[in-house]
Amino acid sequence: MASVGFIGAVAVAPTALPSSRSAFVSATRPVVGVAAPPAVGAARATMMTPPPPGGAAASPASLKTDTVEGVALTASEPQNIADTVYDATVPDARGRYGRFGGQYVPETLMFALEELEAGYAAAIADPAFHEEVNGLLKDFVGRPTPLYFAERLTQHYARADGSGPRIWFKREDLNHTGAHKINNSVMQAVLAKRLGKTRIIAETGAGQHGVATATVCARFGMECEVYMGAQDMERQALNVFRMRLLGARVIPVTAGAGTLSNALSEAIRDWVTRPVETHYIVGSVAGPHPYPYIVRQAHAVIGAETRGQAVAKFGGAPDILIACVGGGSNAIGLFHEFKGDADVRLIGVEAAGKGLDSGEHAATMSRGSLGVLHGSMSYQLQDEWGQLQETHSVSAGLDYPSVGPEHSFMKDTGRCEYVSVTDDEALDAFKLCSRLEGIIPALETAHALAHLDKLCPEVEGNPNIVINLSGRGDKDVNTVVKLFHERGDTDVMG
């Protein structure tokens, strides 16, 4: 069972929002119970009010002052999702995306978050920062990545008369280290250098963020420690070796299921103890503000490039964007540019694991409820007492019981649709993409590809669909060999 406290989940009624900056900050104090890290001896957090079933909209009766461990949190924000309107300018000054986000952290980390927020604001006002980051993205990472026409997949989904959706890949798999993650690691490493930090920590699930972070640390000569769940170390052994080769120390996390969520918890515990010299490169649009914001900004290059490339290749904006969602960084990176284009349909694909009703999945948007995890309010997979549910996905990068707060906001406001895909559907798409396009996708990415099976027969006309090809599948070959063997896929097993 997962741990609780600031690092663990706390289910709250949708009204439990502090009403002002000072209340907001005070809500981060350990006594509140949503904020105390086990590392500093905090008590177990207790949920006082069960979440509404399925995390749905609060009924008017529940819109009242709520209490978490005896501390009143008074709502003064949009209290009912029906009142929540989409606003593309999020987050607000307090790091809120509607009712989501915030900084549910212990007092000891507030200084580090404030330092980061101020340091980032100063950096983006400095042309030298942009010059350094853009130079690295171009010559070290290999940007811009192509927008590639997936001709044979398009033919595969064509109607009998040859018409149908046109499928494009945004080739983040062609980045140095093989995934989108390095956009963020490069930007944060440059930022950490400006902040005078000498030590970098990170968490990783699929290992792509760990490899990207180890890579930039090698490039800058910085000490690097990566927390990784023990189960993930086994299924992503290749990436563990890559990180070690790059000079990083990989620290196994055996707590809980030994997956991404547990690794994130351990990384935060580490950061609490040594915030002065350490910069924590969070690997997705999760965690306390300003992480969901700065990680989004680092990946926004994906959508910005896509807009120009789409105009050049097919004369306008794409009609539909699809991306897989673990914490949500590759999806936000692609979507951010187009959030204000009301006619661009956004689709996030989560992991349905063995099926939504199996209890073994990571479909936070489909089955989550409101709560606090890893310093941020968002949807979580938790029981009625706020205990995290163990998740399952064939893909380590989607095996996470929460999601970035901006995604929760886009779900509530209807700006983005969230769907889910099972392990088996993802494995079929993994094979299909390899065979039709000569591109072996990451298992995470295969979830986004698998949704084409449902979407393509439903769409009308010839929409241009852009899929974020978030990473390449080399890291997954060991996992997939075993699974294809179990499934009896003789066509690939020989």
Ligand X SMILES: Cc1ncc(COP(=O)(O)O)c(C=O)c1O
**Closest by Cα among 60, 49, 154 to 371:** 49
Question: Residue 429 is which amino acid?
Answer: A
The 8-class DSSP code of residue 52 comes to P
**Closest by Cα among 232, 227, 325 to 282:** 227
Q: In angstroms, what is the minimal distance from the CB of 59 to ligand X?
A: 32
Q: In angstroms, what is the minimal distance from the CB of 201 to ligand X?
A: 17
**444 contacts ligand X (rule: CB under 6 A):** yes
Catalytic residue among 181, 197, 411, 475: 181
**Segment near ligand X (CB under 6 A), from 48-56, 222-230, 326-334, 414-422?**
326-334
Among 5, 119, 144, 327, binds ligand X (CB under 6 A): 327
Backbone angles phi, psi at 471, to 5 degrees: -170, 165
* CB of 258 or CB of 326, closer to ligand X: 326
Q: CB of 370 within 8 A of CB of 13?
A: yes
Any catalytic annotation for residue 417?
no
Among 30, 98, 144, 205, binds ligand X (CB under 6 A): 205
* CB of 103 or CB of 184, closer to ligand X: 184
Q: CB of 28 within 8 A of CB of 87?
A: no
Q: In angstroms, what is the minimal distance from the CB of 292 to ligand X?
A: 11
* CB of 5 or CB of 178, closer to ligand X: 178
Angle at 402 between CA 397 and CA 408, to 5 degrees: 115
**Segment near ligand X (CB under 6 A), from 118-126, 163-171, 203-211, 374-382?**
203-211
Burial class of residue 458 in the structure, from the number of CB atoms within 10 Å of its CB (0-12 exposed, 13-18 middle, 19+ buried): exposed
Q: In angstroms, what is the minimal distance from the CB of 282 to ligand X?
A: 10
Among 133, 189, 334, 442, binds ligand X (CB under 6 A): 442
Alpha helices in 137-259 (DSSP H): 151-156, 181-194, 208-220, 230-235, 237-245
Tokens (6 digits) for 345 = 């349909």
Q: CB of 32 within 8 A of CB of 68?
A: yes
Catalytic residue among 203, 266, 305, 350: 203
| Pairing relationship of beta strands 100-101 and 96-97 according to DSSP bridges | antiparallel
Among 14, 119, 328, 371, binds ligand X (CB under 6 A): 328
Q: In angstroms, what is the minimal distance from the CB of 4 to ligand X?
A: 24
User: Site size for ligand X, by CB under 6 A?
Assistant: 20
Any catalytic annotation for residue 350?
no
Distance of CA 152 to the CA centre of its chain: 30
Any catalytic annotation for residue 181?
yes
Binding mask 463-492 for ligand X (x = CB under 6 A): -------xx---------------------
Q: In angstroms, what is the minimal distance from the CB of 400 to ligand X?
A: 8
Q: CB of 264 within 8 A of CB of 240?
A: no
Taking CB under 6 A as the criterion, which residues in 111-170 touch ligand X?
Answer: none
Q: In angstroms, what is the minimal distance from the CB of 397 to ligand X?
A: 3
The 8-class DSSP code of residue 39 comes to G
* CB of 144 or CB of 397, closer to ligand X: 397
The full DSSP string for 266-331 is HHHHHHHH-TTTEEE---SS-SSTTHHHHHHHHHHHHHHHHHHHHHHHHSS--SEEEEE-SSSHHH
**Closest by Cα among 249, 256, 194, 198 to 227:** 249
Question: Residue 484 is which amino acid?
Answer: F
Number of Cα atoms under 13 Å in the Cβ half of residue 47: 24
Among 3, 213, 330, 422, binds ligand X (CB under 6 A): 330
Among 253, 257, 302, 324, binds ligand X (CB under 6 A): 324
Please name the residues in contact with 262: beta carbons below 8 A apart, sequence gap of 6 or more. 2, 229, 253, 255, 256
Backbone angles phi, psi at 203, to 5 degrees: -110, 155
Q: How far is CA 196 from CA 123, 222, 275, in A?
A: 13, 11, 12
**Segment near ligand X (CB under 6 A), from 52-60, 91-99, 162-170, 325-333?**
325-333
Q: In angstroms, what is the minimal distance from the CB of 45 to ligand X?
A: 25
Among 51, 386, 397, 405, binds ligand X (CB under 6 A): 397
* CB of 28 or CB of 395, closer to ligand X: 395
- In angstroms, rounded to a whole number, what is the distance separating the alpha carbons of residues 59 and 354? 32
Taking CB under 6 A as the criterion, which residues in 238-297 touch ligand X?
Answer: 284
Among 325, 377, 429, 446, binds ligand X (CB under 6 A): 325
Q: In angstroms, what is the minimal distance from the CB of 150 to ligand X?
A: 17
Give Dmax over CA atoms of the chain in angstroms. 67
Taking CB under 6 A as the criterion, which residues in 175-194 touch ligand X?
Answer: 179
> How big is the chain, counted in residues?
494
Q: List contacts with ligand X (CB under 6 A).
A: 179, 205-206, 208-209, 284, 324-330, 397-398, 442, 444-445, 470-471
Active site residues: 181, 203, 470
